[in-house]
Structure 1
Amino acid sequence: MFRDALFSTLLSLFTCYVLSLLFLNLSFFNPIAKALKDFSFLDVYYAEKLSETKKIDSSIVLINVEHKDRMAIALALEEVLKADPKVVGFDIILKEPKGIKADTILADLLNKENVVLSHTTDNEENIIANYPFFAPLEHSGYVNFNFEEDNSVIREFNGLYYNKGLEMESFGYKIAKRYMPKKQWEANNIKDKLRSPRVINYKGDLHKFINFTIDEFMTLSNKSLLKDKIVLIGYLGTPTANINDVEDKHFTPLNTITSGKSIPDMYGVAIHANIISMIIENTFMYRISTFWIVVFTFLCSLIVSIYFIWLSKRLKISYRTVRKLMLLVFTILLVWLTLWLFKKGVVLKSAPIIFVTVFSAGFIKFYKHLIRYIKTKRKFKTYMK
C-alpha cells in the first residue's frame, strides 16, 4: 500500500509541476496565474480584521501635504523641525527646481541631520531622486517596497537592495536606524533580518497613527507633541483618506475586497509607517521557507494518498462521500492553522499545500487506471485491484 501511495503521490506532484509550467508560460492562463499569485490567506486574516487593535501608534506622526505648493511645504517642514522630532522622513521627490525662494528654504531644511529624503529605483538600476540642489543621494532611502513587478499586493518589503554592487538602504530602514539607539539596533540584529525580503506586519491604515494635514498642523497650538518622535511627510489624499484618490496608493492585505476588482487601499506613507513601526518594535513575522512548504506538501499528499487507498478498499458505496468530507475537514483545519500561525507572527503559505494535497487525493483514481493498463502489459505488484 505504501508503495502505491508513494508512486501515486510522486506522479501527482509531477503532474502538478507540469500544469504549473503551463500556467506560467501560456499567455492564455496569465489572468488565472496572476489571480492565484495575488491570493494569500494573509489577506483574509487582515481583511476580516482578525488582527485588529484599537491602540494608536503615538511614536509616528504623519503629515499630509495634499497638493500644497513648495512654499507651504517648506514652512510646514520648518515648523516640524522646530518641534525637535527625532527623525523626519520626507516622502516627496523634488525632481526639478521651481521657485528660488521656496527651493532655497527647502534645500536648507532638507540637509538637516535628522531628515531622511526619498528616491526610487528599479530592477534596471535606474534611480529617480531629488534634484542635486536639494540634497545628495546618500541622504535618501529608496521608497520601493519590493522589486517583484508581478506582485500587485504589498505584503513584503526589501529593507536593503544592492545596486551595481552598492548596498542601498530603504526609506523605512534609514529612518528606523536613526531613531533606534545603536545598542538596541544591534541587539535586535535588525540589519541581518532585513538582508532578505520581509513580510510586513501591518498595524492598520493611516488612522492607526497620529496624522494631520499641513493646515491642521500649522494651526496646532501644541506642536511639542512631535518632540522625539518620527514624523513622515508625504501624500495621504486630498482630502485625507479620500477613498477615490489613488495617487501613490497601493493594494495591501488590509483591502476588504480579497478577490475580484477593487481600488488600492493604502497610501505609500502609511505603508512606510507600518514598516518603521514593525522595525522599531521588533515585531517581525517569520516566514516558513519554500523548502519546508515543499516537504510539508509532500508529506500531506503522501499521508492522504495512503489513507484514501486504504479507505477505497474498505468502503465501496460511501467512499466518494467520505473522501470529500475528509478533504473538507483537512482544508478547514489547515486554514485555521494558517490563521492561527499568522496571529503568532508566522507566515505559512498554505494555499499550494491545500491545492496539491486535494489534487493528489483525486489523482488516485487515475493511478488505478494506470496500474490496470500496466498490468495488461507486464506483471506489477500492487495493493490495488
Structure 2
Amino acid sequence: MKKQKKYYTFFDALIINIFTFFAVLLLWAIIDSVDLFNPLDDFFDNFDYTDLYYSELRHNDMVPDTDIFIVNIGHLSRAELANQILTLQKFQPKVIGIDAVFAEKRGMEDFLLKQALHSNNNIVMGGFGVFDEEDEDQAIGIIKSDPFFGDLPVGHLEFIADPTIVREFDKFIKFNDTIINAFSLEIMSKYDEEVFLDFAKRKTKTELINYRAGYHPYIIFDYEEVNDTNSNLEIIKDKIVLMGYVRMFEGAATDTTDSHFTPLKRSEYGYADTKGIEIHAHILSMMLAKNYIYKLPNWINYLIALVICQLFLMWLVYYYVHGAKLFDILSKPIQFLLIILVLWATFMIFAKFGMKIDMIPSVLTLVLCIEVLYLYEETLELFKIDSYLTQKFNYTKDERIKNFRRIIRFEFIRDRFKRSRKRI
C-alpha cells in the first residue's frame, strides 16, 4: 500500500509569504517610479504613525517645562538684542542659547552686542552647516557669526525634514577635522555635562525627536516683557534660556518665519506649526528627561513583518482547506482586525517603551497576502502540484502528464479564448 504524503501549512505559508514580499516590492517600485502615483508616493513619504500619537493621543494637560524658557527676539536690532542679553544676565540663567547668526558686521551697534555676548561665560551661538550639493549629508563648512564677536561656543541649527516634517536631527556635523555639535547638545554641555555625555554616547548620529506634549509646553517671554522690573523673570535663575524668533511682537498673529511642520500638528489649517527655537527646546526636554526614542533597524522591521505575515498565512492556509465555505466571509474581517491589532500594539510599545517600529511593511504584507494566496492556489491547480492547499484533489500521474502537455502547448490559454460554436 502506497504511503500517504504529509503536507504542512508552514511550507505553503512560507512560499506565499515570500511571494507577498516580492509583490510589495513590485508595488512600491511602481508607486515610486510612475508619475501618476506621485500623490500616493508623497503620502507614504510623509506618513508616520507616531504623528497621530503626538497630535491626538498624547495628554494635552502636561505642565510647561520649568527648566527651559524661551525669549522671543522678534526683529530686534543688534543694540536692542544686546540690551536684552544684559537684562537676562541679571537674573542669572545658567545658559543662554541664541538662535541667530551675525555673519556680517553692521557698525557701532556691533560693539554693544559683542560686549553683551561676553558679559558672562554662558552664551551659546547658532550656526548653519554648508553641505555638498552632490551629497547633502556631507558637510563642507559652517556659517557662523563674524570673528569680530569672538570665539564663542557654536552649535548647528539644522533639523532633518523627511521630507517636510521635522522628526529627526543630526547630533553633530563633521567636516575635515572639525566637529560641530547640534545647538541643543552644545547648550546641554554647559547646563549638565552628565546628561550631555549620556546622550552623546548613544551610537546613532541621527536622533528622533520625542516632542513634549501640552498646548503650551514652554513659557515664552516676549521681548517687551524683558526688563529689570519684571519679577517673573526670576524663574529663569539657573535655567536654560533660548533666545529666538517666535513672533514679530507680543500678541502678533502667527507667521511663517522660521516655522516648521512637526508631528504636533498644532495648526488647524495645515500650516507649519512650530518655530525652530521651540524644536530646540523639545530636544533639550527630551535629553533632560532621558526620554529617548529607540528606532529599530530596518532588518528587524522586515523580520517582524515576515513573522506576523507567516503566522497569519499559516492560519489562512489551514482555514482555506478545512473551512472553505466560510473562508471568503471571514478572512477579510479577520485581516482587518489583525491590522488594527498590529497598529494598536505598535502604539502601545511606542507609548510605554519609546520604541519605534516601522509597521508599514507588516501592514502592506497583511493587506496583500490573501490575494497572493488566491493566485498561489490557482497556480498549484493549473500545474496540478501537490501541497497542503491541493491535497484533497489527489492528482494522478496521468493527470500531471496530460496537464504538462497542455501547458507546454499553451492549450490552457487557447481554451480560455476559444470561440464556442453551436448549430442553429
What TM-score do the two structures reach when normalised by structure 1? 0.89
Contact (CA 8 Å) 1:62, 1:209: kept in 2 or not? Answer: yes
The within-5 A match list for 1:1-385 is 1-100=9-108, 102-111=109-118, 112-124=120-132, 125=139, 126-136=141-151, 139-146=153-160, 150-180=162-192, 182-186=193-197, 189-193=198-202, 195-204=204-213, 207-218=216-227, 220-239=230-249, 244-256=254-266, 262-344=270-352, 345-375=354-384, 380-385=385-390
In structure 2, distance between residues paired with 1:352 and 1:123: 32
SS at match of 2:22: helix
Which segment is superposed worse, 73-82 or 169-178?
Answer: 73-82
Assess, with a 3 A threshold, how the Cα gap between structure 1 residues 239 and 215 changes in structure 2: closer, same or farther. closer
In the alignment, what sits opposite 2:3? none
Contact (CA 8 Å) 2:63, 2:214: kept in 1 or not? Answer: no
Assess, with a 3 A threshold, how the Cα gap between structure 1 residues 222 and 304 changes in structure 2: closer, same or farther. closer
In structure 1, distance between residues paired with 2:147 and 2:97: 18
Q: Following TM superposition, by how much is the alpha carbon of 1:30 offset from its aligned partner in structure 2, in angstroms?
A: 3.2
Q: Following TM superposition, by how much is the alpha carbon of 1:320 offset from its aligned partner in structure 2, in angstroms?
A: 2.1
Q: Following TM superposition, by how much is the alpha carbon of 1:367 offset from its aligned partner in structure 2, in angstroms?
A: 1.4
In structure 2, distance between residues paired with 1:304 and 1:241: 56
Larger-Rg structure: 2
Q: Following TM superposition, by how much is the alpha carbon of 1:310 offset from its aligned partner in structure 2, in angstroms?
A: 1.3
Q: Following TM superposition, by how much is the alpha carbon of 1:303 offset from its aligned partner in structure 2, in angstroms?
A: 1.3
Structure 1 residues 261-292: Cα deviation after superposition (integer angstroms, max 9, x where no partner): 82111111111001011112211122222121
Runs of 5+ unmatched residues, structure 1: none
SS at match of 2:226: helix
Tell me the amino acid that sits aligned with residue 103 of structure 1. Answer: D
Contact (CA 8 Å) 1:119, 1:127: kept in 2 or not? Answer: yes
Q: Following TM superposition, by how much is the alpha carbon of 1:114 offset from its aligned partner in structure 2, in angstroms?
A: 0.9
Contact (CA 8 Å) 2:64, 2:214: kept in 1 or not? Answer: no
In structure 1, distance between residues paired with 2:203 and 2:88: 29
Say how many residue pairs are matched: 372
SS at match of 1:168: strand
The structure showing larger relative contact order (alpha-carbon pairs under 8 Å, at least 6 residues apart) is 1
Q: Following TM superposition, by how much is the alpha carbon of 1:22 offset from its aligned partner in structure 2, in angstroms?
A: 2.9
Give the CA RMSD over aligned residues: 2.3
In structure 2, distance between residues paired with 1:241 and 1:296: 50
Contact (CA 8 Å) 1:56, 1:209: kept in 2 or not? Answer: yes
SS at match of 1:57: coil
Q: Following TM superposition, by how much is the alpha carbon of 1:241 offset from its aligned partner in structure 2, in angstroms?
A: 8.2
Q: Following TM superposition, by how much is the alpha carbon of 1:23 offset from its aligned partner in structure 2, in angstroms?
A: 2.8
Structure 1 residues 108-137: Cα deviation after superposition (integer angstroms, max 9, x where no partner): 22244210000111542253322222244x
Runs of 5+ unmatched residues, structure 2: 1-8, 133-138, 391-424
Tell me the amino acid that sits aligned with residue 263 of structure 1. Answer: Y
Structure 1 residues 219-253: Cα deviation after superposition (integer angstroms, max 9, x where no partner): 51353322111000001123468664111111111
In the alignment, what sits opposite 2:395? none
- What percent identity do the matched residue pairs reach? 25
Assess, with a 3 A threshold, how the Cα gap between structure 1 residues 167 and 22 changes in structure 2: closer, same or farther. farther
In structure 2, distance between residues paired with 1:257 and 1:72: 31
SS at match of 2:68: strand
In structure 1, distance between residues paired with 2:173 and 2:200: 12
Assess, with a 3 A threshold, how the Cα gap between structure 1 residues 335 and 357 changes in structure 2: closer, same or farther. same
